[in-house]
Amino acid sequence: MKVIETDFPEVKLIVPQVFQDNRGFFQESFNLKRMQENGLNYNFVQDNHSFSVQKYTIRALHFQKAPMAQAKLVRVIKGAVLDVVVDIRRESKSFGKFITFELSDQNHHQVLIPRGFAHGFCTLVEDCHVIYKVDEYYSPEHNQGIIWNDRTIKIPWPTANPVLSKQDEKWQTFHEVLK
C-alpha cells in the first residue's frame, strides 16, 4: 500500500498493491495494520455501497455535521468517477477549495477523506459501483449537503446536465450551509 500526499495534507490518495495474472487480480482493499503503520488511525464502523446506472450521475456534496461528522475511505469497484473533496473547515487555509481525483476499477485508487470535508462524485461511465467506509454511523438529522453547482466553489464537473437525486437538487449554497 502506498499513501500519497495531496494538495490537502489531511486527504490521502491510497494506492493498494494489485497482483494481476491470467485470472484477473487480487488486492487487499483494506488492512488496519498497514493503515496504522502509515499514521492513518480510523475506526471504520459502516460500509456503504452506491450504484449509479447512468453516466454523469452526480452525488454531491455530502457531509455530516458534528458531533456525527464522518471520515470516509472511498473506492470504485466498477466503473469510473470524478471524485471531489471540498474543505469545509472554517479555520483552514484551504476553506472552500476543492481537489479532485479519478477513481476507477482500473486504477484501484482510494481516497481517504477525514472529517471536516464535503465529498461528492460524478460517474464517468454507466453502471458505477462506489463503496466507502465511514468512521461514524449515518445520522439523518446531521446529514448536510452543498448544491453541486455552487458558484463559490466552481467545481469543473464533466457535465452541465447531471442526473441528480431530489435531495441533491435542493441543497443550499456553500455560504448558506456554512454561515
Residues serving a catalytic function are: 62, 132
Closest to 164 measured CA to CA, from 125, 133, 121:
121
CA distance to 40, 116, 154, 156, per residue, from 98 (Å) = 21, 12, 9, 10
How far are the Cα atoms of 18, 51, 125 from residue 119, in angstroms, in the given order? Answer: 26, 16, 19
**Using CB atoms within 10 A of its CB, is residue 148 exposed (0-12), middle (13-18) or buried (19+)?**
buried
Nearest 5°: the CA angle 138, 53, 22 is 100
